[in-house]
Structure 1
Amino acid sequence: MYRRELLGPGSVDKVSYMSSIVDDAEIFRYVIIALIAHVNELERGGIISGDVAGRIRDALRDVWRGGYDPGKLVGYEDVHEYIEAELIRRLGSIGGWIGIGRSRNDHVATAIRLRLRRALLDLMLITLRLREVALNKAVEVYDKVIIGSTHRQPAQVTTLGHYMLYLDDLSRDFLSELMHVYGLVNKSPLGSGPLAGTMVGIDRFREAVELGFDGVVDNTIYATGSRYFVISAASAIVNYLVEVGRFINNLEMWLMPQLNYVSADPSHLATSSIMPHKRNPATLEVFRARIGEAVGHLVAMYSILRPVESGYQLDLQELTRHMWSIVKIALEGLLIFMDFINGIKVNEDGVKESLGKYVVTAAEYAEAVAMRERRPFRDVYNEVARELRSGVKVGLDVNESLMKPVHGSSNPRQVIDDARARLNEVSELMTKVNLMVSKLDEVENKLLTT
């Protein structure tokens, strides 16, 4: 529709190659919402009459209710062209009013932000649920001993509850990042036009309020041409997934029969087609692989963005499919991971067997002797090392070694108290995020149904 007067009709194969019509399924709902807000602003500004505005709004809502089937939309460049063509088909020439005071550039940026802020809230909620599971597990196993490792070597005794607080610390930091990124995303580019604005007197602040944004992206070039908000969201999510992947490595190691520190719900396991004794941690393996895919998507996004000028180019439409892939990997994988964490149990016999093999309280013993005898630590350290070298097992009692006074340590009393306090924090945050979701529901439903 857009190209025919200047360039001619083109060819279906080339238009299809350039088209984002399949990827635009992710933003169809939000393109409709942005267009309705745009029509409302055109009416408020006296650009179109109330009758015309009402007819266009009704048609947009009908298009929304009719759904989106990319397979039937061959030949369209994108969802924006399809919707405008559909309005003109239904309403005649008055449907073309939708094109004034706007560009696909500011509208796609708006739709991506509307979609992405939803995704960020979904991630906040699932991360809060993961925190809840991890913290309840910490309360359950606050004193269940695990041998922690560094360099893949037995290092110190701690508890599974202590490791659950590690997972919670990570998830708490991720939530802070998500809140920050949400602030970057939740600003309106609507009304910015293609680059330098539009001759139509659009009140961008009024549009932003109607769409539930916290404000506007001030500079119109930045509003339409930058994807800093997208790459910020993607990198925050992938950073978290990579750290979760590291924790998966610990779980997989503890599940090895050679260690046998924990057991998992059998629904997460698979077996071999030829070795009937195998118990493979299949869900963890798949999630870890998909985390690798997410890293690949992020690298692709950087590669796409790097050579593009500070203005819109079609390269940017190729960027967003990677964003939605990262979101999907995170949402699906964290659900599986959360369920896995909920089902793990400590195998005390397996831990006890390793405690009989490995000296893992030597550091605590050396510190205790140095403090008790008021001797330089390095002297005691060397003395202990010589004894270990000669085959003498030197170490502190396991339970005594757990009782460290340092904040954040393996001390079981600290672990359970900290976990309980954090559960209250999670409950408060869950209420806050659900309120944010409810407000967006109200904003979007009003535009789609009123």
Structure 2
Amino acid sequence: MYREGLLGSGSRDVTVYTSSLKDDAEIFRETILAMMVHLNELERLGAVPGESAARIRGVLRRAAAEGIGGGDGYEDVHEYLEARLIEELGPEGGWVGLGRSRNDHVATAIRLRLRRLMLLLARDVAELRDALLRRAIDLGEELMIGSTHKQPAQVTTLGHYLLGLDELSGDFLSTLLSNYCLVNKSPLGSGALAGSMVGADRGREAGELGFVGVVENTVYATGSRYFALSTASSVVAYLTEAGRFLNNLQMWLMPQLSYVDVDPKHLATSSIMPHKRNPATVEVMRARIGEAIGHLTAMYSILRPLEVGYELDLQEATRHLWEVMGIAMESTRMLADVVRGLKVNSPAVSRDLSAFPVTAAETAEKLSLEESIPFRQAHRAVAESIKKREFRGLDPAAVVRGKRSMGAPATMIESARRRLEQVEKFKLAVDSMLKAVSDVEDEVLGGSG
């Protein structure tokens, strides 16, 4: 439809190859929201007759209710919707193209969709935090052998590990909400690059869609995907760091250690070896995180060579954004379920507490303090006793109980209870934000006119 005036009919094969319609299913509803608000603004300005605007809104509402279907011959969702309007209303349907570009509309739709996904992800991470904190309270005194360099290092608790993952998750939520403020700004009304002569009130359009601000510069508004790249980068960074805990889980689940147990639903067996208890969920989740890294790398690779302004490459980057968000939400929910069923195998831990000198550091500290000798001298003395197999360590449980400094294992249960209260308030706040977004969008689709 767009090309016929200048270029004539195109090749179906080429159109299918360059079309984003399949990917646009993700933002179908959001594209209609942007069209509706733009149409409302055109009507307010007197640029579109009220009767025409009302009929166009009716078609768009039906399209939103029915969803996208067919449309193989269209370049994208914008052409598909305009073609439907003209098919149902005749030339009158073409009013919707006045003072707008696919460039500002798709940027608007992506931001609308992304802000909702960010809030849903925030809710999922908050639920993960809830699971981590409750399990940390339950397992707060269950001893574990902490490792560095994959070597037995110090005695700690499983709750201590879980609280570390919780603190990471809290830091990520702060980053996610910072990115939410970046995403929740409107590019609508920017046109293709340098604005439009129609004179739409961009601030009014932003408010109607529930955005908290406007992306002011029209070149930046239409051609930049910094908001998407920044969000995807922070999400993948979180997945990468949180995924390191999966490596601990897999190690702890090895029969040679058997420090923890998980719900059997997260295990699989072998088709030939009946004894196998493979950590299937952990392995698949770790692979999915690797995929997320790949999708982020694709986004960087697509965006890097582009000039400032819109190019069709940008549509190819968007699908990777949705993949990153989908992997993050699914993996976070799955990890929360794993954590809820996590148990410590105390006999196995006790076995290795006796086998390895994991209280050596504390023994050296105690020797230094009690004998008033330099720590390095005490360190050497303990090392020599280990070498001679004469080491007599401290009681592991007493070591854990004796550490009361901030962040040490013995302080974790108190910390978990405080954090749990904060998480409950956070979940209520996110629910309120989600409701506000839904209310605004439902008003646009269901409002009078």
What is the TM-score with the length of structure 1 in the denominator? 0.98
| Match for residue 142 of structure 1 among 135, 140, 143 | 140
1:32 aligned residue: 32
Structure 1 equivalent of residue 109 of structure 2: 111
Structure 1 equivalent of residue 230 of structure 2: 232
Match of 1:162 in 2: 160
Q: Kindly provide the amino acid, as one letter, of the partner of residue 412 in structure 2.
A: V
Q: Does 1:420 align with 2:399?
A: no
1:355 match: 353
RMSD: 0.7
Aligned equivalent of 2:67: 67
Q: Report the residue type matching 2:152 in the other structure.
A: P
Structure-to-structure mapping, 1:165-314, within 5 angstroms: 165-314=163-312
Shift of 1:405: 2.6
Residues 170-199 of structure 1, C-alpha deviation per residue, up to 9 Å, x if partnerless? 100110011001000000000000000000
Structure-2 separation of matches of 1:144 and 1:192: 58
Return the match for 1:98 from 82, 90, 96.
96
Whole-angstrom distance in 1 between the partners of 2:255 and 2:303: 46
How far apart, in 2, do the equivalents of 1:351 and 1:202 lie?
Answer: 68
Matches within 5 A, 1:313-392: 313-392=311-390
Pairwise CA distance, 1:163:
0.7
Does the Cα contact within 8 Å between 1:52 and 1:94 map onto a contact in 2? yes
SS in 1 for 2:207: helix
Asked if the contact 1:146/1:160 (under 8 Å) is kept, the reply is yes
Contact 1:226/1:311 (<8 A) preserved: yes
1:7-57 alpha-carbon deviations (Å, 9 max, x no partner): 011100001110001000000000001110011101111111221111111
Contact 1:102 1:193 in 2 (8 A): yes
User: Does the 8 Å CA contact 1:20/1:77 hold for their aligned counterparts?
Assistant: yes
Partner of 1:48: 48
What is the CA distance between 1:104 and its match in structure 2? 0.2
Q: In the TM superposition, what is the alpha-carbon distance from 1:304 to its structure 2 partner?
A: 0.2
Amino acid paired to 2:289? I
In the alignment, structure 2 segments of 5+ residues that lack a partner are: none
1:448 to 425, 445, 449: 445
Distance in 1, Cα, partners of 2:422 & 2:52: 50
Q: How many residue pairs end up in the alignment?
A: 446
Q: How does 1:125-140 map to 2 (within 5 A)?
A: 125-140=123-138
CA distance in 2, matches of 1:376, 1:286: 49
Secondary structure, aligned partner of 2:42: helix
Q: 1:434 Cα deviation (Å)?
A: 0.5
Asked whether 1:14 is paired with 2:18, we answer no
Alpha-carbon offset, residue 334 of structure 1 = 1.2
Q: Is contact 2:382-2:391 (8 Å) kept?
A: no
User: For each residue in 1:379-434, what CA deviation from the matched residue of structure 2 results, as whole angstroms up to 9, or x when unmatched?
Assistant: 010011011111122322112211213210111xx111100000000011111111
Which residue, 372, 393, 405 being the options, matches 1:395? 393
Matched letter for residue 165 of structure 2: L
Bigger mean CA offset, 399-408 vs 248-257: 399-408
Moved over 3 A (4+): none
Query: Deviation of residue 335 (structure 1)?
Result: 1.2
Q: 1:431, 1:333 → 2: CA distance?
A: 22
Matched, 1:434 2:392: no
